[in-house]
A and B are shown apart, each in its own frame.
Chain A
């Protein structure tokens, strides 16, 4: 049995206490260890992704207990892809946090960052529903600390809202888990898949309620309207590198929906059939529209970016809720794009903030380093709104293409295209107010000259944008890979066999052996 799968969880879990205990007064040592840890994570994640790329499903049984009894970690194409995305995003966010000095404005940034990575990695890798809850809590409790990093009244209030909303979400998650356990007697995802399909139509009240509650929990995480209210103020008030890291957290919700609703409550399970088409698709379309209208209505740059995250999550959820092989492949492609673009935009909005009194979208004297910052903003905005030539355009095209044969195709096309136009207007107006009109505002004489953002900050943002360019240039191979991923999701038999048939302690010996 290979132990590599658990390394993305173990490595940050060891590194974080080490940073707290051994290096708490030395920001330099913390930075070195944090960067080294994330680099090692990237290597491990790339190894896992390479291992899974030919369709192999690798299983790790914790304590060698066999599947329905023990907790398992499963590395297939989807989970290793998300793990790799998280670790790469983590590297650039960390570089920005170091370059801008954010990590030195409060304590324990690096330790909390590592714990956050641990929770996210665990959530992607686990094959057990209750373990998913535990990893959600790990990533949430780390995110509470990161969210209020560096303090301040406004941030603390936003932090309270964020924590309370997520506590309610966790309670709902537990209710859903209890209901599922009461109905099926198991919480292992592969085992659940078998048992849910055995439930007869007339005894399915409990499991249907449970599946809707579970969908709501993940919709809260993915900020689907009407469960999105926590997102704008918490993302806008969080420190910029933290908000950029949070860009992957909404995707954890999307990942969980894809995983659970292809594996456990699959499209062909009779009792929960039509759930996503009936509820998720309209909600996703509304969140796409509301997100992009919010982009136009926002009066501050950080709110604008937060609403664009809601809009792009809406786009991902539209693609997911169609639940065909093509639409999931398109959703995965767009998900990678939207994570990188949102993270880049949050970091850029922090660069803008460095030279201004606030982030209100009003003309103010020009900021230092405006030329480079505005160029980066231009590129990131093109990516986020989905204009050619960047990957947002390709992703949107794939989603539109996948929507062609669905009954709601007209609605989907109309809302995606109109909301794109609205978001283009919103971003164009914000960019011209922030960067062009600034030239006409006279610089007051007593103004302190703020230094331009550090080189390392620019390296981090440019790195994210370079990844977006790579995502565009390599769109063919990447889309082929997401198609293979989606095909693997819709043919769960090897997954189930791997998880349930692998022998371990306490597994019943097979008859005739």
Chain B
């Protein structure tokens, strides 16, 4: 199970980073969503992987660590809100400039200065 979870985190992170480097708002936002999924699973796994154990201290010998679960909940809520914000801002930028690339457009002054020198 460790291998499965670890490779899931790895694949999600790799795919997320690849998409982030596409530098177009839609793939970048998809990539960031994948990264947040990866980090959520990672946080969840940081309390060790346990199966079928209650997240509270009881008389039983095994229990799941409840703290990472609380952390993941917080992280999910925050990343959800942040993604909504970035979608709205990116949409505004796309509709205003009719261009969805993340980088700054090339400044005409830059090329002119390059030609002159």
**Hey, which bits of chain A sit against chain B, CB under 8 A?**
130, 134, 137, 140-141, 144, 148, 151-153, 156-157, 159-161, 163-164, 167-168, 170-171, 174-175, 177-179, 181-182, 233, 299
Contact = CB atoms under 8 A, between A and B. Distances in A.
Contacts, number: 92
25 contacts: A134-B78, A140-B82, A148-B92, A151-B92, A153-B97, A156-B89, A157-B97, A159-B89, A160-B89, A160-B90, A160-B93, A163-B85, A167-B86, A168-B20, A170-B78, A171-B32, A174-B39, A174-B42, A174-B75, A175-B42, A177-B71, A178-B46, A178-B68, A181-B43, A182-B45
Contacts of A178: 39, 42-43, 45-46, 68, 71
B56 to A, nearest CB: 14
Scoring A134, A148, A163, A181 by chain B CB atoms within 10 A of each residue's CB, the highest score goes to: A163
A171 B104 contact: no
Given A137-B78, A168-B32, A182 B89 contact: no
A174 B71 CA distance: 9
B108 interface: no
Interface string B3-40: 00000000000000000100001001100100110010
A450 B19 CA distance: 47
B85 A144 contact: yes
Nearest to B35: A171
B85 A141 contact: yes
Contact of A156 (B74, B82, B92, B109): B92
A161 B89 CA distance: 10
B54 interface: no
Contacts of A159: 89, 93
Contacts of A144: 85-86, 89
B50 to A, nearest CB: 14
B25 A160 contact: yes
Contacts of B114: none
Contact of B67 (A141, A168, A181): A181
Contacts of A167: 32, 79, 82-83, 86
B81 A141 contact: yes
B96 interface: yes
The prevalent SS among residues of A at the interface is helix
Contacts of A171: 32, 35-36, 39
A170 to B, nearest CB: 7
B55 interface: no
B32 A164 contact: yes
Contact of B102 (A153, A160, A177): A160
Contact of B46 (A134, A152, A160, A181): A181
A137 B82 CA distance: 9
Contact of B89 (A130, A134, A148, A299): A148
A163 B97 CA distance: 18
Contacts of B67: 181
B35 A168 contact: yes
A179 B90 CA distance: 31
Interface string B45-61: 11110000000000000
Contacts of B83: 167
A182 B102 CA distance: 35
List 5 A-B pairs, minimum CB-CB distance, nearest first.
A156-B93, A182-B46, A178-B46, A153-B96, A174-B39
A134 B25 contact: no
Contact of A181 (B47, B74, B90): B47
Given A177-B71, A181-B47, A233-B104, A164 B39 contact: no
Nearest to B36: A171
A164 B35 contact: no
A48 B103 CA distance: 44
Nearest to B16: A171
Contact of A157 (B74, B86, B104): B104
A181 B71 CA distance: 10
Contacts of B92: 148, 151, 156
B86 A141 contact: no
Contacts of B93: 153, 156-157, 159-160
A259 to B, nearest CB: 20
Contacts of B75: 174
Nearest to A179: B46
Given A167-B32, A181-B67, A156 B43 contact: no
A407 B75 CA distance: 42
A392 B97 CA distance: 41
B97 A174 contact: no
B25 to A, nearest CB: 6
A408 B24 CA distance: 42
